[in-house]
Amino acid sequence: MDRNLNALEVSKISKEFNGKKAIKRIDFKIKYGEIFGFLGPSGAGKTTTIKMLTGQLKPSTGEAYILGKNVKNINTNIYGKIGLVTDNSGLYDRLTVMENMQVYCKLHNVKKEEADKLLERVGLKDHKKKRADKLSKGMRQRLILARALIHKPELLFLDEPTSGLDPSTSIAIHELLLELKNSGTAIFLTTHNMEEAYKLCDNLALINEGVIVEQGRPKDIILKHNQKQAFQVLLDNDESLVFEEDSKELETLFELIRNRRVASIHSSEPTLEDVFIKLTGRVLQ
């Protein structure tokens, strides 16, 4: 891992399907030890982008480099250094949890003890002997993630890793991802969950209809779009009101304060979802 280089660099890549543009000249970079989020609604182009960056689809135009190699000339050696989790990452259904891990241990020449450690880490230690087709959705997802980590990838692609999972499984996965990040792994994560993106990502891009409409640190994106200060006010009768920073609205608020009607005031800032709606007119979910 050469930490002076970016783990991933994308320069103006586009993808057309039958003359229709699914991705339109997008740019971004991911450093080692960084989680980069790709946040957009269904059909935005998230999976298409992952496929182009992992050699499964050829970009129509533009350049992309993973671990310093042009994705146009990817050879199989690179799969020893990257990990990939998608919704069609299959398991061997007739094999047990441990056997599924062992297939990958052999493939990557990794000791069985690594599989034990990872299964423990994702909470599947007590299910090692269970057949894959007997696992719940959350367990399958955790097994697919454990399997993708067996060779300690330098760059990890995760296509909606927590979609449809219960909150405690999602939290366990988040903790694991933060540990990986701290050990230097670069993580590209797609999601349409803005809370997940806000919590995990160092940088993120908001994508809509194949176009990146905003990118940066989550806090900076919110600050940039927080032009009008707003106040959330709780009244003595538990009624909640929002006042924007303009003189007429503030006069009403002062009147409430003078009449001792106000229980609390908080300044409220937009969420990533609000920013997305403002920029695209669409909701994320």
Ligand X SMILES: Nc1ncnc2c1ncn2[C@@H]1O[C@H](COP(=O)(O)OP(=O)(O)OP(=O)(O)O)[C@@H](O)[C@H]1O
Instruction: Output 40 or 218, the one with its CB closest to ligand X.
Output: 40
Min CB(159)–Mg ion separation in Å? 6
Considering only residues 210-239, where is the footprint of Mg ion by CB under 5 A? none
Min CB(173)–ligand X separation in Å? 18
- DSSP sequence for 232-285: EEEETTS-EEEEESSHHHHHHHHHHHHTT-EEEEEEE---HHHHHHHHHS----
Tell me the one-letter amino acid at 213.
Answer: V
Instruction: Output 24 or 127, the one with its CB closest to ligand X.
Output: 24
Instruction: Output 50 or 118, the one with its CB closest to ligand X.
Output: 50
47 contacts Mg ion (rule: CB under 5 A):
yes
Distance in angstroms (rounded) separating the CA atoms of residues 250 and 118 = 55
49 contacts Mg ion (rule: CB under 5 A):
no
Tell me the one-letter amino acid at 203.
Answer: N
Three-state DSSP state, 168? helix
Q: Which H/E stretch holds residue 159?
A: strand 155-159
Stretch that binds Mg ion, among 43-51, 141-149, 178-186, 254-262 (CB under 5 A): 43-51
Q: Which does 211 bind (CB under 5 to 8 A by kind): Mg ion, ligand X, none?
A: none
Q: Report the interface residues with ligand X, using CB under 6 A.
A: 17, 22, 40, 42-48, 192
Stretch that binds Mg ion, among 38-46, 67-75, 120-128, 197-205 (CB under 5 A): 38-46
Instruction: Output 44 or 115, the one with its CB closest to ligand X.
Output: 44
Could you tell me if 106 and 84 are in contact, meaning their C-beta atoms sit under 8 angstroms apart?
A: no
Token representation of residue 92 = 């061997």
Min CB(68)–ligand X separation in Å? 25
Instruction: Output 100 or 170, the one with its CB closest to ligand X.
Output: 170
Q: Quick one: CA dihedral 1, 196, 219, 222, positive or negative? A: positive
Min CB(66)–Mg ion separation in Å? 19
Tell me the one-letter amino acid at 228.
Answer: K
Min CB(7)–ligand X separation in Å? 21
Distances (CA, A) of 218 to 170, 197, 203, 222, 271: 20, 8, 6, 6, 9
Residues that bind Mg ion (CB under 5 A): 46-47
